Structure 1
Amino acid sequence: MRIYKRLFPAVILLSGTLLLAACDSPEERAEKHFQNAIALIQDNDVDRAIVELRNVFELNSGHIKARQALAELHMQQGNERAAFAQYSILAERDPDDYESRIQLAQLAFNFGSWDEMDRLGTQAMELAPDDPRVKAIALTLAYREAANDGEASDRREMGNQAIKMLEQNPESLLLRSLIMDHSIREQDFARALAEIDWLIGNDRKRARYYQERLRILAMMQDSEGIETQLREMVKIFPEDSGQKATLIRYLVSQNDLDGAEAFLRELVDEAAPDETGAKVDLIRFLAETGDLEKARKETAKAISESNDPLPFQIIGAGFDFTEGKRTEAIAALQNVLETSKASGEGVTSEQTDSVKVLLAEMLLKTGNEVGARTHVEELLAENSTHPKALKMQAAWQIDADETGPAIAALRLVLDQNPDDADAMTLMANAYSRTGEADLAKDFLAQAVQASGNAPSESLRYASVLIDDERYLPAEDVLIPALRLDRTNTRLLSMLGQLYLRMEDYGRATGVIDSLRRIGGEQAIQVANGLEAEQLNLQKGPSEAMAHLEGLANETDATVGTRIALVRARISTGDLNGALALAKELREADPDSKALLVVLAVAHTAARDYDAAASLYKELIDDAPRNAGAWLRLSQVGLLKGDREAAKSAIDGGLTHAPEDPDLLWARASIAESDGDIETAIKIYEILYEQNSSSTVVANNLASLLSTYRTDEASQARAWTIGRRLRGSDFPALQDTYAWLLHQRGDSAEALPILESAAEGLPADPIVQYHLGQVYLAVDRSEEALEQFRKSIEIAGPADSRPQIEEARKLMQSLQNPDPAQE
């Protein structure tokens, strides 16, 4: 009883408080939270202010001022993604809110989301065309379009216009960025540096600005400035391993291995006693530069001296795996997980997460995808935002055409680290699958920037630009990467090919000279190939051949150089010369399987098919799983006109190498030409499962599904696979994509694409039939009749494929319409 007496007054007081609170409406209570938030903001207590603002939305989600305040607080904290979400809600609630759209467009620019910037900027232009910030947005979008289209005069005029606008709006990040790019293109590096330094001063934690400054220094060939800048970036972004990697890559490209090692040892000395990351970086560097014994010693020392030896034990397992001790390495990591699970102590969750990811990667490399997926799924069940696990999961989802979940997962990764180049590359792959080529290119460009112009990212993006015939932007990507990695043969090879396409032979010669200075068989081979191609373009095949003859006759000529001469002789029609040289090479090294293939190819070119077949059978007897030999034997059969022998060779190859993609492809082609479409589809399904990133496999599978199957599931799958073909310039891919559009009811959109395909494939009756069907769908019956007639003529009277039979029926009905239906 005594306890109740003591509590009774408190209960009465609490009840009174609740009754008073109940008298306030939700809007009134929301306003109180808002006023509390304002007071906290004035006291600079931002974290608690954000909590109060969120309380506002629980009571009144339509509180505009609270939403604006929260967006501004997120901006102050540098949390741009969160700010973008709040401004998006504001814009959705008020169609006339131009302020939010301006903020959203500027944020989209920061993210590199040009489609979003275009959409939001257009809305802002409609609402507030005279606002200086809107004018900057409009000019930025127009400038980018001119720069992409290669209209130098328009771009130059807009750059000068931006300089004038900056006088009225000196705080504009958009104008500063535009002027910087304009200055780079005009070779005004002093102005470009001034603008990027202003941007850095305005936002010292935006890594992209430092990458831009590095690019400018690279163009200026300021080696000392580059190294200084890279060292500064390591200090500014100590948690970003990519900055350290870029500096190391640069020092290695300068042949300063000692300097790179010294830098890493400095980081080890500066690290806290329990910090293992710096020593891990040092060990990995030693291993990657070929000093594995030294790396092993450092690892053993770290294991014996460290209070936390697990990271170094993991590295040791990685070394074992690389050296072929795969079973032992996997067993060691599995033991770590089992021990930590049993003991429940000694290993942090972060460490076990790292072990699970590494174990998944190892299992994947050994072909155990099920085991790899199990570890990744287990990790994500415990830690749903683990970046590496999310990226592995996203890669699998992209392969399975589950692009929506993959994009969502990658956004989680980028929310944690906006400069994750791997995530950006995967995002580009996902958008490429959905046919959104512009978005894919944007993410590839961002990946180059985020990676610090790393070779893989630069090559990937430059290749896309070259395919689009955007040669100058491709050069702008490759050169900064080379400034940081001067001896990279792949970068030099692509740059040399680019200059040949541009017919810039002077700079192509410069690339060839650089490759020769690097030396080594690979670099010399690339240089020889570029030089021969350049001579062929400039002076014709005879000069190129003479050049290769000279190289092959040099005393230090490699086998690769002489094989290249065999190929060149074949391509120019000197079949006897090619055969003689191939025999000479084979006699000099009778045990070489590669030279046996070269000799077989030479016999094939000289139409001595029996001799070629005998050599390929010799290869097969020695190595029955040699899929290439079976495939070439099949090709010899086709050249002899013996189709059954060709088919038998493919079937024989598949007996020994049932999963070989080239043999499967050949078998699918045979099945298709035999009219066995279902078998062809089954084989393409296998090929697609093996490598769903292959555009050609995707096209063929989507084409067969959409052309020969009518069920809803097959049509839906064909669209999922084939939508990536949007925007292609290749006629076969255009035909597939346009036919898919037509089947989905978008015949008007399909028409111009299919007209282009039919023009590019004038001898393909199915493509002409498809165009006829689309003409029919858009009520252009006369043109449809002409197309069906053309399809039938090309196919010939013996062709009984369903499409050709349908074309015959439709031609008859169009020529002789039923009067009753008129």
Structure 2
Amino acid sequence: MSFSQANIIKLYFPILVLSALMATACDSPDELAENHLQKGKELLDKGEYDKAILELKTSAQSSDQRSETYYYMALLDEKSNNFKSMRENLKKTLELDPANIDARQKLGKVDLLFGDFDSALEHADFVLRANPGNEEAKLLRATVLIRQKKNEQASEIIDSVIAVNMKNTDALSLKAGLMFEENKLEQALELTERALQLDDKNIPLRLFRIKIHAKQNNSDAVVEDYKGLIELYPDVENFKLSLASIYSMKDQLQPAETLLREMIEKNKAKTEPKIILLEFLNAKAKDRVASEYQSMFDGWGENPSGRLELSKWMLASGYLDEAEKGLEKIVSVEKNNQTGLAAQAILAEIFIDKKQYDKADTAVSNILSENSDFVEANLLKARLFLINNKVDDAIELLNKVVWTKNDSDNAFMLLGQAYSTKKDPKQAEKNYKQALELNPANLQAFIPVYGKYLQANQKENARQLLEKALKAKPNQAMFLTYKAELDISEKRWDEAQETVQRIALFSKNKTIPVYFQANILQGKGQYADAVKLYEKILNEFPGHLNSLVNLIRSYDGLKQRDKSLAFVEGLHQKNKEDLTIVGVLSDLYMADKDYVKVKQLLENQIKLLPDKSVPLYLALAKVEAVLKKSADGAKQVYLAGLQANPDQPQLLLALGSLYEQLNDKNEARKVYEKIIEKTPDNILAVNNYAALLLESDQAEDLAKGLEMAQRFKDSENVSLQDTYAWGLVKNDKNPEGLALLESLIVKEPKMAELRYHLGVAHLKNGNKATALVELKQSIDLAEKQQRGFAGKDEAQRLIKELTGR
């Protein structure tokens, strides 16, 4: 058995002295290793841990490997809570000296911490074979059994230890824990009191007593418990915060505030206690926040950086006017030193957020006149350039910033935004990626790059990007959410589970981890468990669409469609004004071909919510078309909807589209004209109207159609650009139109209208063979997609003409 640390130091002290006197003679690996080991142990005993670990590591690097070196390295790991390293060093200790009982006991406890119950039991049993009465090993075994839910066996072991040693506080604590689990609170409390009589300053025991009193709803006792902890440990601020929270829950605000003010008094130079008090007042006495902030601010004249932090908190908490005044005072005192310029930059950012761009511009100019290299001010100036659509100026400035200071991730992020505005996706992506190289957690740079990877189905690249972001900010809720979604989409259930557990720790919204947990269960085919979670979410948030859809799918997995229908119907009865539930319920009825029920549901809802009836009319139109087996049914619904909602754009667009299907082009044009008259920037109406004009044989209509489509020239939307390209072809600008159509077909090869337009353009260019291929493809695509398109009849006519059939 190993000696205690004190005995080891005493035993080897003469050797230490001798080695110090004869350092030059210690040349063998054995002597060098021993020398460094003894120095390490001596430094450990003195509490000089950093120096001790250096000596011990040097000893470990020697060719003369000794178990004691690794054991003492493990003890140092224990002091720094580095349990992973402690575990490895203990394993190495036992590899070199399997009989080291102290190392085995410690490794058993660490294995227990890591959930390796078999290994922990193995070490406990080894010690008990060597020493059957070893209480520590018995309690280790009992603890493992408790974790394995074998409470009876554990209780027998614990009772055997207490019978021999009634003063073993660990045994009394474990017994109290078992009583607590069995809800035998009085017995648990009595055992805890006995243990505390033996070890009055034991923090875990005192906290456990608080837990018992809390379960007994004895809030007065909980308060006294915390008072006792604060008396024993006056420097532990968490105890004061906990007691203040309890006072707040009991609506005893004055003693809570007193405690928080004591924390401020004890830590006058720290910002955090002051902000905690402001947060307390913000929740309990909002009207006092401004005056308290002012008092703190005025009393902290010697701490400008502290004043700046207080002002930032006020700004983030919505007290804009007070924050502005504070920042202005900082500027008046600090002038143009670093703190003063930082305050000026925040003021300028406030002006930007308030859209007071002239003030922001003046503030930024003032900062830069003092320090032209002040990065944050230059970035604000670039933001102003972008706001004013001076994209080239922003790019020029940002390039200067990154040339002189190439470690600003926000500068590269803004460059990415500038190039996005300039419609230069390659340069935008390049700069976003550069920003992420500097700071993988730059959210504004991350979102576009990550989104592009997902859109291109490059999930491995997306995952690598996400892992870097999480390494930089492991608790960032949005990154964790992205990872959960990615894990679930790739059916990496174990990884998804770990991610969801982390979300549960750091997400402010408790529903998010529950929803992801339900996704995992559903994905693994555990539909019944998934249903329980989805129903739990929907009972709290009835209109959560994804949960509704997944609930139905999970019930389908259980082949219990009737239960999903019953649940959604019940949800609708409780939340009749929720249109999301109405939409899902109507889809269920439609899927079951119960058209009478869905019609009744929608008509009742229109009566109930006339002010929110537009989506209901749109849905009802589809039902009527099915019931009457004619588009005319839909037309009557749209007209009724427009009577109740005059000139409503969505209903007008639907009606216009219906007229096109009915080949009533004149009525369709009238509808689109009406929309454009009311809302000239309605892109869909403009596009549809331009497309109708371009179907005409009149030169005036064709010219007007191209003029209207001109606005789509630089659009990123293929359908809109197709309208513009078709306008060029129809207005005898075939080479330009053909070139644009050929570039668009690469982006969207399965668009029937686009193939038709390209075929006509090739035909006009004299390329009959190519034209025929494109025209045939347009018809094939339309048939596969089971849809028509404007010009389908003309395409078929041209095919016959070209083939002579």
Higher relative contact order (CA 8 A, sep 6+): 1
* Short-chain TM bin: 0.3 to 0.5
TM superposition score normalised by structure 2: 0.47
TM superposition score normalised by structure 1: 0.46
Larger radius of gyration: 2
